[in-house]
Amino acid sequence: MVKAQAILELSDIHTYYGNIHALKGVSCSISKGEIACLIGANGAGKSTTLMTIFGVQPATQGEILFKGKPIQKLRPEKVAALGVSQTPEGRQIFPRMSTFENLEMGAFLRKDKTEVQQDLDWVFSLFPRLKDRMKQLGGTLSGGEQQMLAIGRALMSRPELLLLDEPSLGLAPKLVEKIFETILEINKSGVTIFLVEQNAHMALTISGTGYVMETGRIVLSDRASALLENEQVQKAYLGE
Amino acid sequence: MDLSSFILQQIINAIFLGSIYALIALGYTMVYGIIELINFAHGELFTAGAFIGVIVLTALQQIGWVETHFVLTMIIVFSMAMAYVAVLGVAVEHVAYKPLRTSSRLSALLSALGMSIFLSNGMMLSQGVSDRPYPQVFGVEGIEFMGARISNGQIFIMLLAVALMVSLQLFVHRTRLGKAMRATAQNKVMARILGIDIDQTIRITFMIGPALGAAAGVMVGLHYGAVRFDMGFLFMIKAFAAAILGGIGSIPGAMLGGLIIGGIEVMWAAFLPSAWKDVTTFTVLILVLYLKPSGLLGKGSAEVRV
Amino acid sequence: MIQQELKKLVVNAIFLAILLIPMLGFKSTSFDPGRAFKTIGVFLAILVLNIIVKVIRSRKKEVDQTPKKPWVESITERVDRYPKIYTIGGLLAVAAVFPLFADNYMIDVGITCLIYVCLGLGLNIVVGLCGLLDLGYIAFYAVGAYTYSLLNLTFGLSFWSALPIGIVLGMMAGCIIGYPTLKMRGDYLAIVTLGFGEIVRLVLNNWDSLTAGPNGLFGMKRPALYYPSFGEDGLAWATYYLKSLPSLYYFILIIAILTIIGVRRLDNSRIGRAWIAIREDEVAAELSGVPTTWIKLLAYALGAAFASVAGAFFAAKLSYTNPNFFLFMESCIVLCIVVLGGVGSIPGIVIAAFVLIAAPEVFRGLENYRMLAFGGIMTTMMILKPEGLIPATRRRRELHEDIATKPKD
């Protein structure tokens, strides 16, 4: 398999929640421009992986390279400044800030006003519903709208790498389809995407590379299309 | 004075006292909103502002500026008090609260308490135990209407208080840093993920909140004519009651709470034996905490709204 | 790396120095160069101290990763090796003969220390065992004092008759104050108790007809011992009033010892364990069948009971009481004793009471700096070692939640 240049590499990452050994030697590599996904059961450690990448739950061991530079010791603010963005689990919308302000916060680190406006227009073109809700407080939006807002907010920093944590959670199937279509579109514009999902089918369908995680370890890694055909994966995660 | 003008007078006094309480309460609510800690030292920061005020004012008075350059004097006095206390506030945060951010609430509370004792006694040592009089800046002249009067001093102070509160609202809703403060108060982790520097945001909160308290301190000194090293305690409790009443963490709540507490105190003192007015305030505080801890403008328990 | 550490130290020192500025004070009349030099001197001293501490710490870190034991604990461990009879017996012996060698002033200090030992142990029940931050504890002290004073002056009740009433009233006050706080979280609980403490004081201050307000009550009789004596009319009870300082000293010593014994037994009882369970995790305790409501109220009530006893003695000894004895600051002092001594640790609190109360008397010149030191000590203790000098082991674990466990390689 010929891989393009790796934008994110994890090597033997260990993370602890107090006494609990959440990640036990996780390694993976994501190429620039692709969509990679991490699937697994609840509590396997998928969200922890994203939190570790961002430094919110710092790794106690191992190395994380972003564009070749180690970031495992960086604070989250610094990671964000490098061009990584995240839509965390539960969306984490600022409930008492308007849709517009939430998006503004996404562009917090940027100084180029005109470009920010361009990105704002782009986000509204991806999610027209957000434009209608522009002045509404984030906490009053529906689940689907909050998900769109969360993704839009993450895009406002013009990231090179976008981490998505369970974008389909709690959403109706039609909405899930729409979200995943949008994810494809975002990827086409050049953003590398690392997707953590419980909905294995949708995730593997749009991804290039797939990783399967169980109790803090990566147990399978392959091209997503191959994983879709994989018997074990089918039994465990695809319900067949 | 007939009843209606008496009541009007009390209302004026209530709004006046309420605005001062509101300014102090804002300091509490902002700090609590962002790090969920009751800044016990806030009363001392308020007092420190009052002391700086009297020191600067006395100096300016000696060179005659109070008469000749009144507005400039006021600007200097307030700015210096607020600036000094802003720095002091950041120092308190850095020394007493920051190291305990990940520790239990009990530790942080005790540290805050220790800071409060430390600062108030520090001021006692340097400024003495007795009242320190404020130079008379405002005369007794004022405006009369409908049988009630507002003195020039009260007008000035109320206008300034309103100006400060409006500025705060603008800052918090229109500026980048202000929005960062709100975001941090609502969801710290998410704010960090977006690149907001939490430490800096907290520091700014500890500059603005105490600075407002300092302004209130100068106002109290100007109006009541004196400052004492321990006057912070009572104001602190009342302002805290105001912040809780309005909904801790909510800026409009602190303003509303301040007015209500001011109103209660003035009305009580007007019609009932005034020696007990402080007991009333304490009782109100306890009742609020018991019956509706989320306050008037609050929605959940201890939710943070900035 | 060293540069970064140095920068941090300088910043820390600057902030510490800033905190000292309110103390140094500026008079607007003249600018005193001596003051300025003093300020700079203090700043440099702090900086140097910080550097020294940091260097010592980093050296130790390289050697040994396990959490260090506080040095006082190693002392107590060594002490524990000797049979308790010797250590406790020794202490008791010293306490017993102390008045023979001391002058009246020192005995008086000793009495005050013992009173604060009782207060500290009582507050320990509420804060240390049960985890309820009570900032108005001094109110119960006041209840005890005023109950005795009023009963003695109005009805002529003796100390012994008034004492049970005082205890009962104190416990009732404890329940009244405790009841609204049952569902409150730490911060709010603290404020509410503070409020109650102040309300009690203000009521005592303002209710002139009952309590003589700010003038206080005076003329109470001292506690008395009764002994049978044979007089002309046969067997009769004679009263011996404890008026001399040494006699009062022994009296409070016995009270303090009883308090220690009482608290010790509570500590080890089912109630004590229930308190600790609530302190550690209230929800879990509730689910395990602990009747949290009752147990918490019991903590307040028992803590208040100890304070009332101390208060009654205080009023009786001084033969005078006044609302100004029960300021919020006093609550803070008692709290500081509990914190310094180690929340939940009996020997620690006893030592802390003596240290905090006696030390300012010993170093007379520092009298003014007493409260300043208390404040500084509380903050510093929290930052450096939130468990106090002699920690109760559980406390140490709870307060160090931030230490991430390293994997065992």
Q: In chain B, where are the structural domains located? A: 16-132+139-233
Q: How many contacts does A have with B, using Cβ atoms within 8 A?
A: 60
Neighbours of C, requiring at least 3 CB pairs below 8 Å, are A, B
Chain B residues lying within 8 Å of A80, measured CB to CB: 192-195
Determine the length of chain A: 240
Helix then strand count (H, E) for chain C reads: 17, 4
What pLDDT shows up at residue B221? 92
- pLDDT at C56 (0 to 100): 64
Domain boundary among A114, A135, A158: A158
Domain match, A77 and A96 both: no
Closest CA–CA distance from residue C401 to any residue of chain B (Å): 6
Cβ(B27)–Cβ(B45) under 8 Å?
yes
What residue in C sits closest to A58 (Cα-Cα)? C404
Tell me the residue range of the domain where A76 lies. 1-83+161-170+192-240
Interface contact A80, partner B, CB < 8 A: yes
Position C69 scores a pLDDT of 45
Residues A228 and A125 in one domain: no
Give yes or no: residues A25 and A143 share one domain. no
Instruction: Choose, out of A16, A24, A52, the residue to mutate when testing the contact with C (most C CBs < 10 Å).
Output: A16
Do A9 and A73 fall into the same domain? yes
Question: Each residue's pLDDT tens digit in chain C (409 positions)?
Answer: 566 766 777 777 777 777 776 666 555 444 555 666 666 666 677 667 766 666 666 655 544 434 444 544 555 566 666 666 777 777 788 877 777 787 888 888 889 999 999 999 999 988 888 878 889 999 999 999 999 988 888 888 888 888 999 999 999 999 998 888 888 877 888 888 999 999 999 998 888 888 777 888 887 778 777 777 766 666 667 777 777 888 888 888 888 989 998 988 888 888 888 888 887 777 788 888 878 888 889 999 999 999 999 999 999 888 888 888 898 888 988 988 888 887 777 888 888 888 888 877 776 666 667 778 788 878 887 777 655 444 444 444 444 443 333 333 2
Q: What does the DSSP 8-state code read for residue B133?
A: E
Using alpha carbons, list the distances in angstroms from residue B88 to B161, B213, B290: 21, 12, 33
- The whole-angstrom separation of Cα A51 and Cα A59 is 9
C168/C188 Cα distance (integer angstroms) = 27
Do A110 and A72 belong together in one domain?
no
- pLDDT value at position C301? 93
pLDDT by residue for chain B (306 residues), tens only, comes to 578 888 888 889 999 999 999 999 998 899 998 988 889 999 999 999 999 898 888 888 888 887 788 888 889 999 999 999 999 999 999 888 988 887 777 778 888 988 998 888 888 877 778 888 888 877 777 788 777 788 888 889 999 999 999 999 999 999 999 999 999 999 999 999 999 999 999 999 999 999 999 999 999 999 988 888 888 888 998 998 899 888 888 888 999 999 999 999 988 888 887 778 888 888 888 888 888 887 787 644 343 333
Q: Tell me, yes or no, whether A105 and A149 share the same domain.
A: yes
Does residue B187 belong to the interface with chain A, where contact is any CB pair within 8 Å? yes
Q: Which helix (H) or strand (E) holds C366?
A: none
The pair of three-digit structure tokens given for residue C51, joined into one six-digit string:
């550097």
Which residues are bridge partners to A64 per DSSP? A10
In B166-185, the residues whose Cβ lies within 8 Å of chain A are 176, 179-180, 182-183
Tell me if A182 is assigned to some domain.
no
A166 and A48 within one domain = yes
Q: Are residues A151 and A99 in the same domain?
A: yes
- CA dihedral (A53, A54, A55, A61) in degrees, to 10, reads 10
Residue A54 · residue A163 · CB < 8 Å:
yes
Contacts of B188 in chain A (CB under 8 A): none
Of the partner residues B194, B198, B305, the one whose CB lies closest to the CB of residue A108: B194
Q: How far is residue B293's CA from residue B304's CA, in Å, rounded to a whole number? A: 13
A207 shares its domain with A100: no
pTM for the structure as a whole:
0.85
A158, A180, A207 - which closes a domain: A158
**Contacts with C185 from chain B: Cβ below 8 Å:** 105, 302
What's the CA dihedral at B63, B69, B70, B75 to 10 degrees?
-90
Residue A143 lies in a domain: yes
What's the total number of domains in chain A?
2
Identify whether A178 is part of a domain.
Answer: no
Is C139 in contact with C308 (CB distance < 8 Å)?
A: no
For residues A108 and A74, membership in a common domain is answered with no
Test the C interface: residue of B85, B286, B301 with most C CBs within 10 Å: B286
Task: Indicate whether A49 and A17 sit together in one domain.
Answer: yes
C386-to-B115, B244, C61, C380, C392 alpha-carbon distances in Å: 15, 28, 19, 9, 11
pLDDT of residue C35: 60
Tokens of A34: 């692709």
How large is the ipTM? 0.88
State how far residue B190 is from chain C, nearest Cα, in angstroms: 20
The answer to whether the CB atoms of C407 and A19 lie below 8 A apart is no
The length of chain B is: 306
Hey, which chains touch A, using 3+ CB pairs under 8 Å?
Answer: B, C
- What is the mean pLDDT, run by run of 10 residues, along chain A of 240 residues? 74 86 90 90 86 91 91 91 92 91 92 90 90 90 90 92 90 88 91 90 89 89 85 74
Single residue among A132, A158, A184 that ends a domain in this structure: A158
B24 in Cβ contact with B213 (< 8 Å): yes
A12 and A79 co-located in one domain: yes
Distance CA A103, CA A106 (A): 5
Greatest CA span in chain A, whole angstroms?
51
Structural domain includes residue A183: no
Q: Rounded CA gap, A211 and A220, in Å?
A: 6
Asked if C191 lies within 8 A of B123 by C-beta distance, the reply is no
- Residue B284 CB neighbour total at 10 angstroms: 21
DSSP for C196-222, please give it.
HHHHHHHHHHH-HHHH-GGG-EE-PPP
Whether C172 and C333 have beta carbons less than 8 Å apart is answered as no
- The CATH number linked to A196 is 3.40.50.300
Angle between helices C370-384 and C346-362 (to 10 degrees): 150
Q: Which residues are paired to A194 by β-bridges?
A: A36, A163
Q: Return d(Cα B220, Cα C219) in angstroms, integer.
A: 41
Residue A215 covered by a domain: yes
H-state helical runs in chain A: 46-54, 76-81, 99-106, 113-126, 128-132, 143-155, 173-188, 200-206, 224-229, 231-237
| CA–CA dist C325, C307 (Å, integer) | 14
